[in-house]
């Protein structure tokens, strides 16, 4: 029971990293990252907001790719599994770098929703929770991708552990059947036994008949009538 549990630990670690990173990226995509206040001469004061999806459109796609990649990492092996790890690493690194850059300045598209010229009121305001959450999610996915590419949690293909016992059982049954049939086949193909059976007036193709055991449990060949 110890070996299977030890083999599941790396998979559990990878699952925690991937799920945590994907959840962080998806959550950061819905949060407000930047706000800017303007004074519209017709409507008065207004506030423009930029969410994580506005700043980093790849947040949700990377989260979905990470989840699919984790499933692919469980079902593949060898160079294909390492390729999946590299893809996860690249996606996480992209999110982490872009989230870090988003902390340095407001996105150019923040003023894109203005329908007419307006006067800015102060500087744009950063809401750091969203970018930091995306940065953490990207770091988790980068770590998970690196571990997968390095071979952590590698295992046989799905279903192989179920196929192996069936094959072994079939081989065992075939071996036992062959072993049970060998004595009978050897006896049936021995010419000396055939001639002895014909001399005794019996059919050599008949199955052997067990000799009855006398009431004492053994044959006494030395007990002769006096």
Q: Place 225 in a pLDDT band, splitting at 50, 70 and 90.
A: very low
Q: Is residue 85 in a domain? A: yes
Mean pLDDT of 21-44: 89
Structure-token pair, residue 57: 């459109």
d(CA 61, CA 142) in angstroms, rounded, equals: 15
Number of domains in the chain: 1
CATH number at residue 94: 1.20.140
Which residues make Cβ contacts (< 8 Å) with residue 222, sequence separation at least 6?
none
Q: What is the pLDDT of residues 94-108, one digit of tens each?
A: 999 999 999 988 887
Domain membership flag for residue 223: no
In sequence order, the β-bridge partners of residue 51 are 32
Q: Residue 29 in contact with residue 156, Cβ under 8 Å?
A: no
Say if 47 falls within a structural domain: yes
Is 111 part of any domain?
Answer: yes
Length reported for the chain: 226
- Is residue 119 situated within a structural domain? yes
Residue 183 lies in a domain: no
pLDDT of 181 > 70? The answer is: no
Is pTM beyond 0.75? Reply is: no
Domain that holds residue 112: 2-158
In a domain? residue 14: yes
In the predicted structure, residue 14 carries a pLDDT above the cut 70: yes
Average pLDDT, the chain: 78
Residue 113 included in any domain? yes
pLDDT bin (cut points 50, 70, 90) of residue 39 is confident
Q: Give the whole-angstrom CA distance, residue 139 versus residue 24.
A: 10
């Amino acid at each position: 029971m110890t070996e299977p549990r030890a083999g599941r630990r790396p998979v559990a670690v990878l699952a925690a990293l991937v799920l945590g990173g994907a959840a962080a990226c998806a959550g950061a995509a819905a949060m407000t990252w930047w706000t800017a206040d303007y004074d519209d001469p017709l409507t008065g004061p207004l506030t423009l907001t930029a969410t994580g999806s506005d700043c980093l459109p790849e947040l949700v796609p990377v989260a979905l790719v990470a989840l699919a990649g984790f499933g692919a990492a469980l079902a593949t092996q060898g160079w294909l599994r390492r390729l999946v790890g590299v893809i996860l690493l690249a996606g996480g690194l992209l999110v982490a770098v872009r989230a870090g850059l988003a902390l340095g300045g407001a996105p150019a598209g923040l003023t894109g929703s203005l329908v007419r010229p307006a006067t800015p009121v102060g500087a744009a305001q950063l809401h750091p929770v969203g970018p930091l959450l995306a940065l953490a999610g990207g770091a988790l996915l980068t770590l998970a991708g690196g571990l997968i590419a390095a071979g952590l949690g590698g295992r046989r293909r799905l279903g192989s552990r179920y196929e192996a016992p069936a094959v072994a059982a079939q081989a065992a049954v075939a071996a036992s059947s062959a072993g049970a049939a060998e004595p009978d086949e050897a006896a049936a193909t021995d010419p000396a036994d055939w001639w002895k059976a014909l001399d005794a007036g019996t059919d050599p193709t008949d199955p052997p008949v067990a000799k009855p055991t006398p009431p004492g449990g053994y044959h006494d060949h030395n007990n002769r009538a006096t």
